Structure 1
């Protein structure tokens, strides 16, 4: 596991390579996807489900 500080130290100031792009996409797209799912996927209502 890499922390944000280590990430900046390892990748900061270097030419952007394909491996770095894949690393960032894997890390941040997952986080963004989870936040998006929490924000839009939860249908909370006051409706009660009653079983027959």
Structure 2
């Protein structure tokens, strides 16, 4: 799997989107990427990831 990211600096973005919202979006994206990988590892160990 290859993950590509493009970062574009936009001076007006901070005014449009508060930092807290951006941090939440980044956290959600990271969890969306990491969860299937963690589930595979646990499945290999014979365990399951519980839904919260």
| TM-score of the two chains, using structure 2 as the length reference | 0.50
Number of corresponding residues: 37
Tell me the residue number matched to 2:8: 9
Q: Which runs of 5+ in 2 are unaligned?
A: 47-52
Query: Per-residue displacement from partner, 1:1-52 (whole Å, max 9, x unpaired)?
Result: xx621xx2157xx878111111111111111111000111244xxxxxxxxx
Whole-Å separation in 1 of the counterparts to 2:20 and 2:34: 20
Q: Which runs of 5+ in 1 are unaligned?
A: 44-52
Tell me which stretches of 4 or more aligned residues in structure 1 moved more than 2 Å.
none
| TM-score of the two chains, using structure 1 as the length reference | 0.50
